Copies of this chain bind each other. A is one copy, B any other.
Amino acid sequence: MAINYPTKKKPVHKEANKANLGMDLETMINDSNEYYLNNNIAVIHKKPTPVQIVKVDYPMRSKAVITEAYYKTPSTTDYNGIYKGKYIDFEAKENHNKTAFPLANIHPHQMEHLKNIIKHGGIGFLIISWNKFNEYYLVPFEVANRYWEAAYKNDERKSIPYEALQNECYLIKEGYLPRLNYLKVVDEVYFKNKEA
């Protein structure tokens, strides 16, 4: 079976969304980052998908074609960059469940990486889309980590319940430019004292 598969994630056919019809989370974040870059607000990029390249052909002298490669488990998060002089780092995940976000969607390396980032003075979080409700949340690392440790150290539930998102996390509003203004929420959560 051979299928065309231009990006890592299959396009998501989610329920209609008024502002950004059918647009997946990655595209929304990438578009927002482009807006931030073009308007001198922040420099944040998605890292390329990690791939182990095994074989390369040269059918023409000018162009190399990779003919055998494999997806690798990412050792870090998808996004990082600089905002207001601070190192910023996050992972973005779509959630199709209604009641909870399964922690199995995050790799242990990624939690470890975010913990290191915070230890060194950076800003680290998750962005989780709640596709059933067309909602987007900034989940501070500390909140995610509490559920993570409860799950894997104390063998408790292996998910973050929707109520935790509503009560302990921050709703990111959808818009047009940028599509997902997550840095506005970053301001509120991480730069509040500095600006007051």
Contact = CB atoms under 8 A, between A and B. Distances in A.
Interface of A: 1-8, 37, 40, 42-43, 45, 47-58, 63-72, 75-76, 80-87, 89, 113, 116-117, 119-122
A119 B42 CA distance: 10
Given A2-B57, A37-B116, A87-B87, 4 more contacts: A1-B57, A2-B67, A48-B50, A65-B68
B83 A86 contact: no
Contacts of A2: 55-57, 67
Given A2-B57, A51-B51, A68-B67, A43 B83 contact: no
> Number of copies of this chain in the oligomer?
2
Contacts of A54: 4-6
Contacts of A71: 64, 66
A45 B119 CA distance: 16
Contacts of A55: 2-5
